Amino acid sequence: MPYWPRDGRSLGFPDGHILHDIHTRSRARRQYRGITIMKQEFLAKAETGDLVIGIVGLGYVGLPLAEAYVAQNTRVIGYDISEKRAAQLNAGESGMKHIADSRVQEMLDKALFKATADPADLKEADAILIAVPTPLDIHHQPDLSYVVSTCETLAKVLRKGQLVVLESTTYPGTTEEVMKPILETSGLKGGEDFALAYSPEREDPGNKNFETATIPKVVGADSEDGRAMAKATYDIIVDTVMVSNARTAEATKLVENIYRWINIAAVNEMKVIFEAMDIDIWEVIDAAKTKPFGFQAFYPGPGVGGHCIRIDPYYLSYKAREHGLSTHFIELAGDINTNMPRRIVRRLLEEMSLKQKKALAGSKILLVGLAYKADIDDMRESPSLELIDILKEHGAHVSYYDPMIPEIPTTREHPEFAGMTSVDDFSGFDAAVIATAHTGVDYTALCKAIPLVVDTRNATSDIIADFPDTIVKA
């Protein structure tokens, strides 16, 4: 029988902590044997390339993550609650415009990837990575319902020795305060029977310069064993940046996107000011970014979209209120950014009144671009949906054109737009609003067909001299 010293330092406890009674020594013995043996077996699998990765959520984050592991000859079990989505992937279809079907087929051809809608299949996985939505509710409060339901599902199939990692955006404390208690309803103990970690996703759909395997991963866990297991998991595909605990990793994600949120608000505000001075904000930014230090370019627009930038600031505001603190900069930036769609509509109304002697009510308006950024089909939190809503409030007849999104799917915020389809020509409209600068759009044809084009993205910069009476930057 091995010797178990009364001095807890050899078991990893703080200096001077003495195990005074048999019960405490027994608990420490179980914990030592459980988590340490679990870690050793896990790391041995990672070393030999036998680790099996489970990925929950096969969308904009989960699918590229699966692809990165398969590229390193690591087996992946992808779980999605939708049987239709699982079947689509198993048929070699990505379901996303910026990810070619051929990339999914390559994963299938290697026989290292399968999609499933049966959570029991996740028992085979050594590490389970969760990439599910974490939106806001109608009151701008964090909605962790997808995380909660995922953990409830996992608790029914969780086995000893597994690592569970959340990648979804959230507030500091979610891993410990929300996930761990739910997972422990399995009868297993976090830190003894399974390990927990947090590693925020850093996907940028459509970015041709960076992909999952080239963007370093921040990884945090609340135990040395958890950190070691999580590091081994991500080291397979990417460089890891280890932080001291899960809360630090959770906070890192928020900081990255709050930084962008505040700076976008600053340029949106400056755009309004420079517009009154007859100064082109786009020309100003292009000049300023020639400075080789101390400046990073951010650009104005009709609002802020995308799951991360639009969501993350409010997650921190929510958590700050628990500590009796206010997030003044974040809330001010929110006021500016969320007001941009209404400002764009006001500008359109003014231009139509001045140039065309028309009211917005009853006019035919074309919204160009539904996606929240150029050249992708991702319309999560897109300000374009709010623009459609506001234009309809003013009595306009609204259509849209987006080569990446032929039909609007059902969304939580605007289910009434579901089924709207993209037009196939530009004729018959009184005005157009460019909300997304897709490179595949023929902006010359747009300006020839429509007498007023309000450009919120500088998409027409190369042709504005040819259409001085048509194009208005806003």
| Domain membership flag for residue 29 | no
Q: What percent of the chain has pLDDT over 70?
A: 93
Overall average pLDDT of the 22-48 stretch: 66
Same domain, 199 and 265: no
Residue 284 belongs to domain with CATH number: 3.40.50.720
Tell whether 11 is covered by a domain: no
Residues 265 and 233 grouped into a single domain: no
Half-sphere exposure of 398 (CA within 13 A, CB side): 23
- Mark whether 200 and 267 lie in a shared domain: no
Are 198 and 344 found together in one domain? no
The residue with tokens 């009434």 is: 416
Q: Quick one: tokens of 99? A: 């990810």
Query: Distance between CA atoms of 390 and 344, rounded to whole angstroms?
Result: 10
Nearest-angstrom CA–CA distance, 39 and 403:
49
Spatial separation of the C-alpha atoms in residues 98 and 313, rounded to whole Å: 27
Alpha helices in 277-353 (DSSP H): 281-288, 307-322, 328-351
DSSP string covering 193-206: TBEEEE------TT
- List C-alpha distances in Å: 418 to 97, 385, 394, 398: 19, 11, 20, 14
Q: Decide if pLDDT at 473 tops 90.
A: yes
Q: In this structure, is residue 15 part of a structural domain?
A: no
Does the residue 2 lie in any domain?
no
Mean pLDDT of 18-47: 62
360 with 441, same domain: the answer is yes
pLDDT of residue 5: 35
240 assigned to some structural domain: yes
Position 309 scores a pLDDT of: 78
Which amino acid is located at 280 in the chain? D
Mean pLDDT throughout 128-132? 97
For the chain, what is the mean pLDDT? 91
Share of the chain above pLDDT 90, in %: 82
Same domain? For 453 and 318 the reply is yes
**Could you tell me if 48 and 106 lie in one domain?**
yes
Cα gap 423→366, rounded to integer Å:
9
In angstroms, the CA 429 to CA 247 distance is 51
**Domain end residue (candidates: 244, 272, 288):** 244
User: Which residues span the domain enclosing 99?
Assistant: 37-244
Q: HSE of 470 in the Cβ direction (CA atoms, 13 Å)?
A: 22
The answer to whether 211 touches 202, Cβ cutoff 8 Å, is no
Q: Annotated catalytic, 308?
A: yes
- The alpha carbon dihedral of 199, 205, 209, 211 has a sign of positive
pLDDT of res. 465: 96
| Token reading at 163 | 């690592």
Residues 370 and 442 in one domain: yes
- Indicate whether 293 and 325 sit together in one domain: yes
Which listed residue (219, 308, 376, 431) is catalytic? 308
Listed residues 244, 269, 304: the one ending a domain = 244
How much is the pLDDT for 35?
63
* Residue 219, token pair as written in the block: 């990884």
Q: Are residues 303 and 180 in the same domain?
A: no
Helix axes 328-351, 307-322, angle to 10 degrees: 140
Quick one: average pLDDT of 88-99?
94
Higher pLDDT, 198 or 203: 198
Q: Is 410 exposed, middle or buried (0-12, 13-18, 19+ CB in 10 A)?
A: exposed
For residues 64 and 96, state if they share a domain. yes
What b/e string do you get for 23-44 counting C-beta neighbours within 10 Å, with b at 16 or more? eebeebeebbebbeebbeebbe
| Total structural domains within the chain | 2
Residue 143: inside a domain: yes
Query: Which pTM value belongs to this model?
Result: 0.86
Residue that has been written with the tokens 């929510």 in this structure: 318
Extract the tokens encoding 405.
């999104």
Provide DSSP, 440-470: TS-HHHHHHH-S-EEESS-TTTTTGGG-TTT
Tell me how far apart the alpha carbons of residues 130 and 179 are, in angstroms, rounded to a whole number. Answer: 11
In a domain, 167, yes or no: yes
Is residue 51 in some structural domain?
yes
Least confident of 6-20, 74-88, 136-150, 306-320: 6-20
Q: Which residues contact 154 (CB under 8 A, 6 or more apart)?
A: 56, 119, 122, 128, 164, 183, 186
In this prediction, residue 308 has a pLDDT band, given cuts at 50, 70 and 90, of confident
First to last CA, the chain: 77
pLDDT in tens, 372-431: 999 999 898 899 999 999 999 999 999 999 999 999 998 878 889 999 999 999 999 999
pLDDT reported for residue 69:
98
Q: Which residue has the higher pLDDT, 21 or 359?
A: 359
Question: Does residue 17 surpass a pLDDT of 70?
Answer: no
390 and 312: one domain?
A: yes
